[in-house]
């Protein structure tokens, strides 16, 4: 008798999808930041989408998240920023202003944090 391929048949009532959880935080520069300067903005200086003061920055899910920074409405290059999650006093955004650039006082800063989270759907009907 020749070899046969065994194909196991499995069914499941569970489906998993990946859903982005997007959080945006808004602030304005309090003072002008000159070139070749690293400036720290504490989490407590930001407002959320509802206009409430931010109490903490959310953690980034390991290998399943990212953050974007927009200055005056323009997406910025990642290498100029560092993000630290946590409550006010710990959570912050570090901005390194490159040579030949500056950020004037009053310039809007938007921080966008995106985490992808699994959602389990059970299609079994009881």
pLDDT in tens, 58-97: 999 988 999 999 999 999 999 999 999 999 889 999 999 9
pLDDT at 22: 97
- Evaluate whether residue 114 is within a structural domain: yes
Provide the pLDDT for residue 126.
Answer: 52
In this prediction, residues 101-112 reach a mean pLDDT of 97
7 within domain boundaries: no
Please give the tally of structural domains in the chain: 1
pLDDT band of 3, cuts 50, 70, 90: confident
Does pLDDT of 125 surpass 80?
no
pLDDT in tens, 10-61: 777 888 888 999 999 999 999 999 999 999 999 999 999 999 999 999 999 9
116 falls within a domain: yes
Average pLDDT, the chain: 92
In a domain, 113, yes or no: yes
Is 59 inside a domain boundary?
yes
> E strands, 4-44, where?
14-28, 37-42
Q: Which residues pair with 120 in a beta bridge?
A: 16
CB burial of 108-126 (b: ≥16 within 10 Å; e: otherwise) equals: ebbbebbbeeeeeeeeeee
Whether 49 maps to a domain, the answer reads: yes
Strand 81-84 relative to strand 92-97, pairing: antiparallel
The pLDDT value recorded for residue 7 is 80
CB-based contact 111:67 (threshold 8 Å) = yes
Would 3 be classed as within a structural domain?
no
Structural domain span for residue 88: 24-124
Is 1 a domain residue? no
- Contacts of residue 41, defined as CB under 8 A and 6 or more positions apart, other chains included, come to 27, 92, 93, 94, 95, 109
Structure tokens at 23: 């959080």
């Amino acid at each position: 008798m020749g070899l046969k391929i065994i194909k196991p048949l499995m069914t499941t009532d569970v489906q998993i999808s990946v859903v982005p959880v997007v959080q945006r935080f808004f602030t304005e520069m309090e003072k002008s930041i000159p070139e070749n300067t690293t400036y720290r903005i504490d989490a407590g200086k930001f407002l959320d989408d509802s206009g409430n003061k931010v109490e903490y920055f959310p953690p980034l899910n390991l290998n399943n998240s990212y953050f974007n920074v927009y200055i005056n409405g323009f997406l910025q290059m990642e290498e100029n920023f560092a993000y630290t999650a946590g409550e006010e006093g710990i959570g912050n955004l570090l901005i390194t202003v490159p040579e030949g650039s500056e950020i004037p006082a009053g310039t809007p800063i938007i921080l966008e944090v995106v985490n992808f989270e699994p959602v389990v759907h059970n299609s079994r009907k009881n």
